[in-house]
């Protein structure tokens, strides 16, 4: 009896109710398919991409330098392939910076974003661990750990990571924009090209992370965390900036713009006042989402009653 009373009191607390609402979408089979998809995609992406950084000629008298074109193409084509394979399952983020961009533009809830980032980081550790296990010790080198070039400052490295991730996330939003009618070709290939371009430019500067999980995986396996914060702060800031500029400045959604106009109205004195109305609230995940409801089994006991769906990117 006391447990029931305690449970009612817990549910009656507004703070606890908001927490439960935030996490309501995670108790579904569809959501855990998406999270596991992010994990598996990160495993494959990190394993294949980091493998291109291994220099098998390191034991020779004059080993050739790292092939930047090979590495850039491998990263770009790997991410393009993973987005094509897992885009309809999880949105194909495979990158905490992309997930952060989806959260700030309200295409993904914060609770789901946390699980995505955890899955991406665990997948990156697994992929780097597999590569470490199958690669001979004498050719492993740094296992693709991203390092800041000693010739540039940490501030410059931060800017480089910010700009190349900006380019990537802006490409994602532009090529996956449901409002556009002029799009043709493969969005996943365009995203892969964006990754390859970032690597061709930034490998000599910072190793071209563009992805905090990609840097975290090999750093965790080799326990090398020198200037590691650069590879979290730079990409996340770049991703958020790109998403905000695209979504709210360059290509705002007409429906969102209409709702935002309703939020502010002038009073009799000519000053703006905030209108307190539930109708003007923009709910998370309400913009440009894939309607997956038709694809879910009608008798699926795990289906969300609210019909909430995941991000389309």
**Residues 230 and 206: beta-carbon distance below 8 Å:** yes
Residue 32 has pLDDT above 90, yes or no: yes
Q: Which residues of 198-209 are buried (b: 16+ CB within 10 A; e: fewer)?
A: bbbbbbebbbbb
* Residue-wise pLDDT tens digits, 191-220: 999 999 999 999 999 999 999 999 999 999
d(CA 58, CA 39): 32
The DSSP call for residue 64 is: P
Instruction: Name the H helices within 207-284.
Output: 212-222, 230-245, 254-263
Q: Mind listing the pLDDT tens digit for each residue in 47-84?
A: 999 999 999 988 777 888 889 999 999 999 999 999 99
Q: Taking 80 as the threshold, does the pLDDT of residue 20 lie above it?
A: no
Relative to beta strand 272-274, strand 264-266 is antiparallel
pLDDT at 185: 87
| Distance of alpha carbon 220 from alpha carbon 235, whole angstroms | 18
- In the predicted model, what is the mean pLDDT of residues 153-158? 98
- For 303, phi and psi rounded to 5 degrees? -65, 140
Give the pLDDT mean for 97-103. Answer: 97
Model pLDDT, residue 274: 58
**What's the pLDDT score for residue 288?**
41
H or E stretch including 130? Answer: helix 110-134
pLDDT digits (tens, 9 = 90+) for 130-150: 999 999 999 999 999 999 999
Query: What number is the average pLDDT over the span 16-25?
Result: 58
Structure confidence at residue 273 (pLDDT)? 59
Class level of CATH domain 28-253: mainly alpha
pLDDT at 257: 66
What is the predicted pLDDT for the residue at 16?
56
Whether 281 has a pLDDT exceeding 80, the answer reads no
Per domain, the residue ranges of the chain are 28-253, 257-287
pLDDT digits (tens, 9 = 90+) for 223-279: 999 999 999 999 999 999 999 999 999 998 777 666 666 666 666 666 665 555 444
CA distance 165 to 170: 8
What whole-number distance in Å separates Cα of residue 244 and Cα of residue 252? 10
* Mean pLDDT, the chain, integer: 83
What pLDDT score does 272 carry? 63
Q: Report how far residue 72's alpha carbon sits from residue 88's, in angstroms, rounded to the nearest whole number.
A: 25
């Amino acid at each position: 009896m006391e447990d029931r009373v305690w449970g009612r009191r817990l549910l009656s607390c507004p703070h606890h109710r908001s927490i439960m609402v935030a996490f309501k979408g995670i108790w579904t089979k569809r959501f855990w398919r998406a999270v596991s998809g992010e994990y598996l995609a990160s495993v494959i992406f990190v394993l294949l991409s980091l493998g291109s950084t291994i220099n098998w000629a390191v034991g020779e008298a004059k080993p050739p330098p790292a092939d930047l074109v090979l590495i850039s193409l491998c990263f770009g084509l790997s991410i393009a392939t993973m987005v094509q394979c897992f885009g309809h399952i999880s949105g194909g983020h495979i990158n905490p910076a992309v997930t952060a961009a989806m959260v700030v533009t309200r295409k993904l809830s914060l609770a789901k974003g946390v699980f995505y980032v955890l899955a991406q980081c665990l997948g990156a550790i697994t992929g780097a661990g597999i590569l470490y296990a199958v690669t001979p010790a004498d050719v492993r080198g740094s296992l693709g750990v991203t390092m800041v070039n000693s010739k540039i400052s940490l501030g410059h490295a931060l800017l480089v990571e910010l700009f190349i991730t900006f380019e990537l996330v802006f490409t994602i939003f532009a090529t996956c924009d449901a409002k556009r009618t002029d799009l043709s070709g493969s969005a996943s290939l365009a995203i892969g090209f964006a990754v390859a371009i970032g690597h061709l430019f930034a490998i000599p500067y910072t190793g071209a992370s563009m992805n905090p999980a990609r840097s975290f995986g090999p750093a965790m396996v080799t326990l090398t965390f020198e200037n590691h914060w650069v590879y979290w702060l730079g990409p996340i800031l770049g991703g958020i900036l790109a998403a905000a500029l695209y979504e709210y400045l360059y290509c705002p959604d007409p429906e969102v713009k209409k709702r935002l106009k309703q939020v502010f109205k002038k009073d009799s004195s000519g000053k703006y006042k905030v209108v307190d109305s539930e109708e003007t609230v923009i709910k998370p995940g309400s913009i440009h989402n894939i309607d997956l409801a038709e694809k879910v089994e009608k008798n699926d006991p795990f289906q969300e009653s609210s019909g909430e769906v995941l991000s389309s990117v």
